[in-house]
Amino acid sequence: MAGTLSRYAVEAAELEAAAASSGSDAPQLLVEAAHQWRLAGDSERSQGLLGTVIAGGGEMGCYARAELAGLLFDAGARDAAFAELALLADDPQCGDGPSRVVAELLTDQGALTAAVPWYDRVVTTGDPILEVNRSRVRKRLGLADPE
Helix segments in the chain, DSSP class H: 2-20, 26-40, 43-56, 58-74, 78-89, 96-108, 112-122, 128-140
Could you give the CA distance from residue 97 to residue 114 in angstroms, rounded to a whole number?
Answer: 17
pLDDT value of residue 145: 76
pLDDT on residue 1:
47
Q: Computed over its alpha carbons, how large is the radius of gyration of the chain? A: 16
The mean-pLDDT minimum among 33-37, 41-45, 132-136 falls in: 132-136
Asked if the model's pLDDT at residue 47 lies above 70, the reply is yes
Share of the chain above pLDDT 70, in %: 95
Judged by average pLDDT, the poorest of 2-6, 82-86, 108-112, 122-126 is 2-6
* Backbone dihedral region for residue 142 (phi beyond 0: left; psi -120 to 50: alpha; all else: beta): left
Q: What is the pTM of this model?
A: 0.87
The pLDDT of residue 85: 98
Helices 112-122/128-140 angle, 10° precision: 150
